[in-house]
Every structure is written in C-alpha cells, then in structure tokens.
Chains A and B, each alone.
Chain A
Amino acid sequence: MFIDLLSWEFLLFSAFAIILVASSTGPVRTVGFLGANIAFIFALLGPIGLASTLFFSGLGWGLTRVHLTASRWAAILSATLLVLVFIYMLDYEFLGLFLPDAARLSFLQTVGLSFLLFRILHVMIDARSGVIDRIDPAVYPNYLLAFSTFMMGPIQRYQDFRDQWADRTQAIEMTYEAHLDAGLRILWGLVKVYVIGTFIFRFALQPNTDVLALSLGEFWLQLVAFYFFLYMNFSGYCDVVIGIGSLMGIRPPENFNNPYFAQNIADFWLRQHRSLTLWLTDYVFNPVYKKALSSSSFASLPLAAGIIAAMLTMLVSGLWHGTTIGFLIFGLVHGTWLAIYRIWDHVLVARLGKKRLRKIRASWPGRVVGMAITLHAAAFAFLFFQLDTPSVVALLKGLL
C-alpha cells in the first residue's frame, strides 16, 4: 500500500517510533505507540488488512477473557474457536473440501495473522496456567500489534515485552557503543536482505519450477540457493527488527544461530526460527508428549511417544507456515526427518553406547557429515515451502 517492509519509508517510520517511545512516558507513550502501530498496519496492509487485524486481535482479547474465567471445557472451546476463525480468515486451501466458494471470504486473508495467532494463544494459555500473573490492558494491544515484529516475528513472549516496556529489564546497555552496535546490526541485516539475499535469489528455486525437468546438478544448486536465500531474507529481517527493538527499548528474542552449522535436524530447529520452535515445543510438543506418556498405550514407549509428538508438532508448524498443500508436506517432511533422526539416534546409542557416540559426533568428520546431511535434509523440505500448488501437484503426480 503506502509502505514496504525494510523500505526507506519503513526505516523513517522506525526512527519516528524510536524517538516517540524513548522520549515519552505513561499514557502518552502507550497511546502514541499504539497509534503508530495501527498507522503502520494501515500503511502496510490497507483498510481491509487493518480491519481484519483489529477484528482478530479484538476476538483474541475477548476469547482470552472467556478462557481465563470459564470452565476447562469452555476454555478449550474458546481456544479452538480462535483457531477455526484463523483458518477461515486465512482461507486455507483445504476449506474448498468443506465449504462452497460463496461461503469463503478470501478478502479477509491478510499477512501477519499467523504471528498474531501464536501471540494470542501464548497469552491465553500462560495466563490461565498462572505463568502470566496479569494481562495489563495498557501493554497487551501494543504487544499484539508492535510494528517491528508484527509481520515476521520473532515471536516475543508477553512477559519479556511487558518487562522491557515497563523498564524492569533493559533491552540494551545504556552506552554509545551498544547503540552503535544496534545501528550496525540494522545495516548488516539490510545488506543481508538487499545485497546478499537478492544475489543468491538469482540461482534459487522459483515457485513455478518444473522440478522433474531439472538435472540433478540444477536441482541441487536451486535447492541449496533457496535455503541460503531464505536464511538471508529472514535472518536479515530479524537483524533489522532486533536492532530497531533494541533502540526502542523492546528488543525481540534472537531467532537464528547459524542454522547451516546444525548437526542434526533437532539442532537445526533450535537454530532456525528459534522463537517459533520454542513456541511449538511449549504449546504443542510438550503437552502431546506428556499426554502420550501418561496413556497406558505409550507409557512404556517413550520413543514412539516422542515421534508422534514430533510429527504432530511439525504438522502444526507446516500448516502455520502456509495455507497450501505444499506447507502441509513441508511439515510432514520435517516430521519424518525428526522421526528418522530419533530412531537412528536410538539405534546408535544401543549399538555404540552414549559415550562412544558422543565422541564420534564431536570429531571433525562426524561434525562435517552431520552438518552436510542436516543442511541437505532441511533444503529438501524447503522445496515444498517454495513451490506453488500446481508445481507441487505436478511433482507428486510425476513421482507417483
């Protein structure tokens, strides 16, 4: 609409927001920042995008109130309703199986809702369990709509945002050098996005690629290039918003830690989009795993319980990433990688023992092999992340 992510206008707006938040206090700061966030979303998404966002945020707030005061079943129902509304608003491809076209309102679809959903659900669940003692109505709207993390995260926890907003914890040291470092981080993030990322993108897999028509070499190059393009694009963005957040006094969490150095697929997800992984671990993997272990069927089968929990977690992750069949397969592929890794690890521990296995993995050949396998497994899964639905369908038909 009027502003693009990481454009000059975006950076000017960020400078204005930094000055606003740093120079004001009390209600002026709260209302001023909220006004700035709403203006930003309007400039980015237009009136319908803003209306969808505000509707979903309002619904989230209302259902969170219900969730906190109602019985267990009403609480489950309120969270489920929020997820169903989210699926309807984003117009997931599979809705075509259940709903006639006339009942689908694709104009409600807007970017940023998936991050918004996970922020709302986190507050909902943690406030009910007591991890969050109180939802401050003056902080919550800005937590949901903060312009810096609205579109692409990182997924900050409410407590972290609230404590920094209230100056209980400091985003960065109050030194010139720390502020210079934040500025450098913004610039380096922009270079990753605009210079390195756009260069790599020339070689990367495109959404409409006929994969079966590629040679093995071309396929490998395009996949690996897409992997590194995505890293530069997303981690560069995160560098910029972490730098802006640091200067504003509400620094989001780190989201990347050199994922190309990951030595197994579980390690990869702790290095890539880390804030999402931690969210999924807390609210999907751990509850499912504990529930499975407490059932009589899986009580003596922790490996099977872990695999089921990992598959389900990655399925949710895939569906969260996008609305098409490609993202569903993306999640299933990652679930399969995690299952293979867990079984393989189990077999190796049984054969070699933990001590010897640790020694082999710590050796340089062990590390190089682990990194190479993980990088290629992750790059392969991104095939389904990048391809559009006709290309995914053509690929699957060709393979079957």
Chain B
Amino acid sequence: MWSALFPNRSVRMTMKILVAAGLVGILFVFSATEVDFVYTGF
C-alpha cells in the first residue's frame, strides 16, 4: 500500500515517520487507558 501511494523511497520514509509520530501522539493522549486482555489462554 505504501509503495503504491509513495513510489519515491525518501518521500515514503518521511511519510512513515510522520505517521509514526502521529500514532505516538495519539497513544500519549490515551496513555492512562487501562486495558484487560481477554485472550490470555484460560
């Protein structure tokens, strides 16, 4: 998907870094969220 959207490697890498930064930002906002894992095997 990434290669189709951004055939140029430098542009693609830059976009990926920007998306990663965005995801880190989102996770920072939700950092206090508590989660239960329901699939722990028993």
Cβ of A133 within 8 Å of any chain B Cβ, yes or no, is no
How far is it, in angstroms, between the C-alpha of A6 and the C-alpha of B39 when the chains are bound? Answer: 14
Selected from A115, A177, A194, the residue in CB contact (under 8 A) with B33 is A194
Pair B27/A111 contact, Cβ less than 8 Å: no
Interface string of B10-21 (1 = CB under 8 A from A): 001100110110
**A6, B35: Cβ atoms closer than 8 Å:** yes
Sort chain A's interface into a size bin. Answer: 35 or more
Asked if A180 and B20 sit within 8 Å, CB to CB, the answer is yes
Closest residue of chain B to A189, judged by CB?
A: B23
The minimal Cβ–Cβ distance linking A386 to chain B, given in whole angstroms, is 7
A148 to nearest B CB, angstroms? 14
Asked if B5 CB lies within 8 Å of chain A CBs, one says: no
Closest Cβ–Cβ distance, residue A185 to chain B (whole Å): 10
Whole-angstrom distance from the CB of A63 to the nearest CB of chain B?
Answer: 20
Complex contact B13–A176 (CB within 8 A): yes
B23 to chain A, nearest CB (A): 4
Q: Least Cβ distance of B21 to chain A in Å? A: 9
Q: How large is the interface on B (under 10, 10 to 19, 20 to 34, 35 or more residues)?
A: 20 to 34
Judge whether A113 and B41 touch: CB under 8 Å.
yes
Q: Report yes or no: B39 in contact with A177, Cβ–Cβ below 8 A.
A: no
Count of CB-CB pairs between chains A and B under 8 Å: 78
Interface contact A230-B33, CB-CB below 8 Å = no
In the complex, what's the smallest C-beta–C-beta distance from A370 to chain B, in angstroms?
25
Closest residue of chain A to B3 (Cβ to Cβ) is A177
**Which of A90, A191, A322, A386: most chain B Cβ within 10 A?**
A191
Q: Which residues of B contact A337 (CB under 8 A)?
A: none
Assess whether A188 is interfacial by the CB under 8 Å rule: yes
Contact across chains for B27 and A187 when beta carbons are under 8 A apart: yes
Q: Are B40 and A152 in contact (CB under 8 A)?
A: yes
- Find out whether the CB atom of B30 lies under 8 angstroms from the CB atom of A188: no
Residue from A109, A195, A321 with most neighbouring chain B CB atoms (10 Å): A195
- In whole angstroms, how far apart are the Cα atoms of A18 and B13 in the complex? 22
Q: Which among B20, B30, B33 is the interface contact of A184 at CB below 8 angstroms?
A: B20
A323 to B27, CA, bound (A): 34
Could you say which residues of chain A place their CB within 8 Å of the CB of B37?
5, 151-152, 233-234, 237
Determine the residue in chain B with the shortest Cβ distance to A322: B42
CA distance A393 to B40 in the complex (A): 23
Structural contact, B35 and A194, CB atoms closer than 8 A: yes
Determine the chain A residues whose CB is within 8 A of the CB of B27 once the complex forms. 187, 190-191, 194-195
CB of B41 within 8 A of CB of A323, answer no
Complex: how many Å from CA A180 to CA B12? 11
Q: Which of B17, B30, B42 contacts A194 (CB 8 A)?
A: B30
Contact between chains at B20 and A111 (CB < 8 Å): no
B10 CB to nearest chain A CB (Å): 11
Contact between A181 and B13, CB atoms less than 8 A apart: no
Cβ of A112 within 8 Å of any chain B Cβ, yes or no, is: yes
CA distance A180 to B19 in the complex (A): 11
Given A151-B37, A193-B35, A230-B38: A184 in contact with B13 (beta carbons within 8 A): no
Whether A197 sits at the interface, judged by CB under 8 Å, is yes
Q: In the bound complex, what is the Cα–Cα distance between A183 and B23 (angstroms)?
A: 11
Can you spell out 28 A-B residue pairs with CB atoms less than 8 angstroms apart? Answer: A5-B37, A6-B35, A8-B31, A111-B40, A111-B42, A113-B42, A151-B40, A151-B41, A152-B37, A152-B40, A152-B41, A153-B41, A177-B16, A181-B16, A187-B20, A187-B23, A190-B23, A191-B23, A194-B27, A194-B33, A195-B26, A197-B35, A230-B38, A237-B37, A320-B41, A321-B41, A321-B42, A386-B38
